[in-house]
Amino acid sequence: MTSESKLTHMEAYKAMFSFLEEYYKRTGSDDVGSLLSGMCLMVDGAPMDKAYINEWQEAISRVLNDTVDVEVRFNDRSENAN
């Protein structure tokens, strides 16, 4: 999953919104629907839920500092057997 194009913070926000919106359309998840409601942007460009501004900036910082671990790891069941 590599790409040469770089996204602005707003483009990345819109990409995340689009991803979650499609997920919501497939699942009808109330939790995701609630999240999307807070993420909707008002005329001034701020999300409906103002707390998301800081949370989004913190998420960007974690990504830029390479502290987000998205790798799945599976343990061998025999290692956990007593």
What is the 3-state secondary structure of the chain? CCCCCCCCHHHHHHHHHHHHHHHHHHHCCHHHHHHHHHHCECCCCCECCCHHHHHHHHHHHHHHCCCCCCCCCCCCHHHHCC
pTM for this one? 0.78
- From first to last of its 82 residues, the chain has per-residue pLDDT tens of 565 789 999 999 999 999 999 999 999 999 999 999 999 999 999 999 999 999 999 999 999 999 999 999 898 776 555 5
